[in-house]
Structure 1
Amino acid sequence: MIQLPDGFREKMKGLLEEEYDSFMESYHKERVQGLRINPLKISRENFMEICPFQLKKIPWAEEGYYYPADERPGKHPYHEAGLYYIQEPSAMAVVELLDPRPGERILDLCAAPGGKTTHIAGRLKGNGFLLSNEIHPARARILSQNVERLGIGNCVVSNEDSQSLSRRFPSFFDRIVVDAPCSGEGMFRKDETARQEWTPGHVTVCAARQEEILSNAAVMLKPGGTMVYSTCTFSPEENEQVIEAFLFSHPDFSIKDEGKRPGLSPGRPEWSRTGLGDLKKTFRIWPDRSEGEGHFLAVLKKSGEHMSEKKKTMPEYTRDKTVLTELAGFLKDFLVDPAPLMSRKEFILFGDQLYLLPPEMIDFKGMKIIRPGLHIGTVKKNRFEPSHGFALSLKKEEVKCWIDLPPDGEEIVRYLKGETLPQDAAFSRDNKKGWILVNTGGYSIGFSKLAGGILKNHYPKGLRWM
């Protein structure tokens, strides 16, 4: 059994009473592992046909599955192709309760490393706008990498605090996720650092920060919108008590009744301070009752009806004719139908990097932006070089030149290690040179460039297998 902080043990014994022994038994069990299929790349049905792992359905997650502890899906080419995202099973419940719809504007406020963001993006199906924010710069970069790997084009990744964002986006979003930074008690079974850092004082600090973040998020939600608050901790101070404090100071919000959900237990209203609000409508995931780590979730509804919006200041899109001409030339040579992409106007330059912004993104001057949209490529002197992120957003049916390397073969391993390949590996429509979309099992994974009978490797150096 893992070593738990003494103060945590005492606290949970006082809270759970006769349920304490059952709760403690969960720490004798191995934690479960989960992955979530990425519908932007592949359907559940098609994935199950090609899946190389043994999977079992997660009851509360439409795209979620458990996999055995001895499997290593993070070391498979399908992972690099973005066919799935490895995620703790309990965390998948958050977006299920958020229920995002195509065409909506969504904010994932505390987003790293990207589980909720990539889940939301799959539900939007490329239609709508997703702002994914993370206050810590290093974690924001990891978030951006996961957005890229899963081929997401309608997401902006920012590195701001919640108050700064609230000034930029008042009453802007249809739905918001606040997966708040917490004391991490629910992750003690898998996270030694969380166990070492836990103190009662840390819980108090977290609760105050959570209330602040939640209040700032409320400013950004449209009237009639939905917000999901979640933590991976057991502490009532960070869960039921944060929610009732929020409801007291925000009378335009109420807890939305989601009814019973498989695997999810009702919240604990007896752990409130005042009894304000129906806390039985909140949810908890207990490791001794479900196959998942500890989690708390509450769905909040903002009253009122959607009002007509004020005109937003839009970004300054690039009008550089040389850049657009180079891009058009590449797209015409490479894509089967370049018209849909070339009809867009939301291209911007970050230095020599060309991005395509989601149309709903407002002017972001002064904001800390990590990824302003879909990275299309690099503009170099007299040529255009497509990006890895652009490759991952494409399907082989959309391009003129592609290769498909078997996911269990030697060639895909060589590609992921950065090695060159012979031309006879390619389906290239008799091209003697040019860009080739590399696929594995039929799904895009990166670019190569054909020249002199050799496929030069353009898989990013920082991602290459050792």
Structure 2
Amino acid sequence: MHANVYLPEDFLKHVETFLPNTLKMEDFIAACQRPLRKSIRVNTLKISVEDFLHKAKSYDWHLTAIPWCSEGFWIDADESIVPLGNTAEHMAGLFYIQEASSMLPPSALFHDNEVFQTVLDMAAAPGSKTTQIAALMNNEGVLVANEFAASRVKVLHANIERCGVRNVAMSNYDARVFGGWLPEQFDAVLLDAPCSGEGTVRKDPDAMKNWSLNSTQDIAQTQKDLIESAFHALKAGGSLVYSTCALSPEENQQVALHLTNTFGDAVEISSLEHLFPSADKATTPEGFLHVFPQTYDSEGFFIAKFKKTGSSSAPSVQKRLGKFPFQPLTKKESSDVVIDLEQTMGLTLPSDSALWKRDNDIWLFPKALEPMLGEFRFSRMGIKIAEQHKKGYRWQHQVATALTSNDTASVALSEENAREWFMGRDVRPEGLTGKGEVFVSYNDFIIGLGKWVGNRVKNGLPRELVRDKNLF
């Protein structure tokens, strides 16, 4: 029990003013004081749900389906020896440790099996929703993942890389710029807005230490600016999801209704009442989802979905982009890369991507990104697949994470060697030797790219993905 959860008296009095009649205050407080159930999401870019369930059974992990996400499960696992985050399956990106409620916004965005070629995630770090969206897009089209806090961009990139995402372009801006810089550019936008975090007390007992109604109202003003920017960046006919892990109407219903009041007939609320069985238990009269901690035994969350039914006049901005440092490869250069990749690594490139070059670095960009390249400055685009040298190409780690499959030829490592690999060390597969670059695998899934040096495989794991203790 988290009996020491801090719930300010002023906050509790505020909750009493908007708690639905169907819910009880004592149940709300009791739920806030209970630890969260741990939950995970299977990363279908790496493994099917069926195959993951088979693996989970072999580890004696007990999974319970989350009703609003077909890839999501509450998990009961013995972590006394190895935390879930230090399992080989997690480090290889087969699953993401993600709170159940945070799976709701992407699920709402892609409800009814909607297909989007261009998606914007306006506040992306640490990457749980970004990687969920990428999986729902099946790595196709382009997903722009923006994060305002520079300190969180590194974590965002590490999670994108670990999960084998290749269709992302990252940026590091105050998300209020998107409406003016990329007006009506996206088929879909997710704004999981910065908020007071009122719904997160079950995992952070001190989340409410600095809560005040004044600060909530200040945050709401920023959220209104952000939702206007999101709407301007959305194409006519596109879908927008606004979400927070807050509970107060000031940050939720009032921000959502600010959008409809501002843009009138150009915006239409999409009801989430039928998003999943029993969604009606959290549905507001407007059609939003207002999830309290006791509703589904999860974090508190708010989700609203809108359809843009008409164009909007975006803010006018002056752009100073500077020189774009990349150039597309010529047909001959592209052909050389494709042939070498197939001959040396047994891989083909996805047809919806294009090869670009910066100095001697070869990058794979989503083709759907190209219309934005002259309109916006990104911090990282697509994946770096190679460094070019006089004698050929040195393939990079993201070739292993984003371009391989379970059928890709690899050297199978023992548990001991796999553990050494994730700790950033070279490995010596017993009785084997070879030449050139080679994929290494463990338990039938690719875990990295190395290079043979005699009977040793030189480790190619990026530093940000190296773990140094308490591994499987």
**Same structural fold, with TM-score higher than 0.5 when normalized by the shorter chain:** yes
Tell me how far 1:341 sits from its aligned partner: 5.5
Alignment of 1:125-140 (within 5 A): 125-140=138-153
Conserved? CA contact 1:254–1:300, under 8 Å = yes
Counterpart in the other structure of 1:416: 422
**Alignment correspondent of 2:318:** none
Tell me the CA shift for residue 163 of structure 1.
3.1
Partner of 2:123: 110
- Of residues 339, 343, 346, the one that matches 1:333 is 343
Q: Distance in 2 between matches of 1:321 and 1:105?
A: 26
CA distance in 2, matches of 1:221, 1:26: 37
Count of aligned residue pairs for this structure pair:
442
* Partner of residue 33, structure 1: 38
Looking at structure 1, the residues matched to 295 and 96 of structure 2 have their Cα atoms a distance apart, in angstroms, of 25
Q: CA RMSD in A?
A: 2.8
Q: Is residue 384–residue 396 contact of structure 2 (8 Å, CA) maintained in 1?
A: yes
Select the residue among 12, 15, 36 that pairs with 2:15: 12
Residue in 2 that maps onto 1:290 = 296
3-state secondary structure, aligned to 1:195: coil
Deviation at 1:424, TM superposition (A): 3.0
State the partner residue of 2:327: 317
Where 2:366 maps in the other structure, the secondary structure is coil
Q: 8 Å contact 1:102–1:126 — kept in the other structure? A: no
Q: Could you state the TM-score of these two structures normalised by the residue count of structure 2?
A: 0.86
- Aligned counterpart, 1:273: none
SS at match of 1:198: coil
The aligned residue for residue 3 of structure 1 is 6
Aligned match for 1:262, one of 251, 260, 277: 277
The answer on whether the counterparts of 2:164 and 2:402 sit within 8 Å (CA) in structure 1 is yes
Cα shift at 1:259: 2.8
1:240 aligns with 2:253: yes
Equivalent in 426, 451, 460 of residue 449 of structure 1: 451
Change beyond 3 A, Cα 1:221–1:366: closer
CA distance in 2, matches of 1:234, 1:73: 29
The question of whether the paired residues in 2 share the 8 Å contact of 1:267 and 1:281 is answered with no
Q: Secondary structure at the match of 2:305?
A: strand
1:164 to 2:167 alignment = no
Change in CA separation of 1:263 and 1:411 when aligned onto 2, cut-off 3 Å: farther
| Whole-Å separation in 1 of the counterparts to 2:328 and 2:70 | 40
Offset, 1:89: 0.5
Instruction: Indicate the residue corresponding to 2:317 in structure 1.
Output: none
Relative distance call for 1:239 and 1:357 in structure 2 (3 A) is: same
Matching residue within 33, 47, 52 for 1:47 = 52
Can you give the 5+ residue segments of structure 2 that lack an aligned partner in the other structure?
313-320
What is the DSSP-based 3-state SS (H/G/I as helix, E as strand, rest coil) of the residue aligned with 1:244?
Answer: helix
- Partner in structure 2 of residue 206 of structure 1: 219
Q: Is the 8 A contact 2:273 2:283 kept in 1?
A: no
- TM alignment of 1:455-466, pairs within 5 A: 455-466=457-468
Matches of 1:91 and 1:344, distance apart in 2: 30
Q: Deviations over 1:230-266 (max 9, x none)?
A: 1001111001111112110011112112333335356
Q: Which residue of structure 2 lines up, in the alignment, with residue 274 of structure 1?
A: none
Q: For residues 243-392 of structure 1, what are the structure 2 equivalents within 5 Å? A: 243-251=256-264, 252-260=266-274, 261-265=276-280, 279-304=285-310, 317-319=327-329, 327-328=337-338, 330-338=340-348, 340=349, 345-349=354-358, 352-361=360-369, 362-364=371-373, 367-380=376-389, 382-392=391-401
Q: How far apart in 2 are the matches of 1:387 and 1:114? A: 22
The percent of aligned pairs where both chains have the same amino acid is 29
Q: Distance in 1 between matches of 2:390 and 2:206?
A: 48
Measure how far apart 1:74 and its partner are.
0.7
Structure 1 residues 179-188 or 193-202, which shifts more? 193-202
Partners of 2:406 and 2:446 within 8 A in 1: no
Counterpart amino acid of 1:24? I
Say whether 1:68 aligns with 2:76: yes
Q: Distance in 1 between matches of 2:249 and 2:352?
A: 52
Residue 40 to residue 188, structure 1, CA distance change in 2 (3 Å): same
After superposition, the Cα gap between the structure-2 partners of 1:39 and 1:302, relative to the gap in structure 1 and judged at 3 Å, is: same
Segment of structure 1 superposing worse, 67-76 or 227-236: 67-76
Q: Displacement, 1:162?
A: 2.3
2:137 to 120, 124, 127: 124
For the residue of structure 1 that corresponds to 2:417, the secondary structure is: helix
Q: Is the CA contact (8 Å cut-off) linking 1:396 and 1:439 kept in structure 2?
A: no
Name the residue aligned to 1:188: 201
CA contact (8 A) 1:186 1:233 kept: yes
Question: Conserved in 1, the CA contact under 8 Å of 2:162 and 2:465?
Answer: no
Is the deviation greater in 316-325 or in 411-420?
316-325
Answer whether contact 2:386 2:393 (CA < 8 A) is retained: yes
Letter in 1 for 2:346: V
Change over 3 Å in CA distance of 1:246–1:266 after alignment to 2: farther
SS at match of 1:254: strand
- Look up the equivalent residue of 1:29 and give its one-letter code: R
Give yes or no for contact 1:334–1:399 (8 Å, CA) kept in 2.
no
CA distance in 1, matches of 2:195, 2:77: 26
Shift of 1:335: 3.1
Match of 2:315 in 1: none
CA contact (8 A) 1:144 1:371 kept: no
Over 3 Å counting, the alpha-carbon distance change for 1:187 and 1:81 in structure 2 is: same
Structure 1: which amino acid aligns with 2:357? I
CA drift at 1:228: 0.7
* TM value normalised by structure 1: 0.87
Q: CA deviation at 1:184?
A: 0.3
2:18·2:249 contact (CA, 8 Å) conserved in 1? Answer: no
Distance change in 2, residues 1:425/1:25 (3 Å): farther
Per-residue CA deviation, residues 409-445 of structure 1 (Å, 9 max, x unaligned), is 222111111222224365xxxx731111112222221
CA deviation after TM superposition for structure 1 residue 63, in Å: 0.5
Cα displacement (A) at 1:304: 4.0
Distance 1:323 1:197, change over 3 A: farther
